[in-house]
Amino acid sequence: SPNPTPEKSAGNSTRINPTTESSPENPFDISIALPRTNFKIGDEFKFTLQATKECNFRVYTLDANDQETAHDPTKKNEYGIQNSAFMGTQTLKAGELRTVPIPGAPGRAVIQGPAGEYHIFAVCGRDDLAEIGIVDERLQDASRKSKRNFKFIFEEELEGINRNLLAKAAVKYTVVADK
C-alpha cells in the first residue's frame, strides 16, 4: 500500500535514527504514516507514529467539515474513555513505531464520514507540551475563528518553538462515500 507524502513534515517514515540529542545531522523528528490515502466510509482506520527522540505526543485531526479535534493520551475522549486506551501512553519512545489504535484497544476506529479531505497533525515535545507552549485551547479557539485555516494556525502556533524541543508532522487523506 502506498504511504502518503507528509505535508511540511519534520519526519521521515522510512529512516528513523533514535538518539538522545538533536543536531543538524540528527534532528528531532516525528512521522505519521497511513496504510493508504483513500478510504471509504465504513473502512477500518489506523495510522502509525514514530519519533527520533523520546517525547510526549498529541494528535489533532481536521475533518471534511473543518472540525478540529485534539487527541491527547492523558485525557478522555467524547465517550468518556481514556484516550490512552486507544493511543497508548503519551510517551513515544525513540524509534518506537506506534500504531493507533494500539493493539488490544477497546473497539476499532472506523471511517464515519462525511466524504472529503481529512488531515492528521502530530506534535511531539521533549518536555510537557504545555510547558513549551502547545495549549489545546489556543489551537481550538483559533480553529473556531478560521476553520479552513487550521493548518496555517497550527503552523503559526508552533512557529518559534525550539526545534530541539518540538517535532511536528502532517498528512492528509480522502474519504469517499461507498456507492
pLDDT of residue 24: 52
DSSP labels, 1-28: -PPPPPTT-S--SS-----SS-BTTB--
pLDDT of residue 60: 86
Rg (CA), the chain: 16
Widest pairwise Cα distance in the chain:
50
User: In the structure, what pLDDT confidence band is assigned to residue 156 with cuts at 50, 70 and 90?
Assistant: low
Residue whose C-alpha cell reads 486506551 in the numeric block: 85
pLDDT of residue 12: 31
Cell of 58: 498529541
* Residue 75 or residue 99, greater confidence: 99
Q: What is the pLDDT of residues 29-70, one digit of tens each?
A: 899 999 999 999 999 999 999 999 999 998 988 889 888 888
pLDDT of residue 5: 34
For CA atoms 36, 40, 117, 83, the dihedral sign is negative
pLDDT of residue 32: 95
- Least Cα distance to 71 among 126, 6, 122 occurs for 122
Q: What is the pLDDT of residues 78-125, one digit of tens each?
A: 888 888 999 999 999 999 999 999 999 988 899 988 999 998 988 888
Residue whose C-alpha cell reads 502532517 in the numeric block: 170
- 178 C-beta neighbours (distance < 10 Å), count: 12
Distance CA 61, CA 171 (A): 10
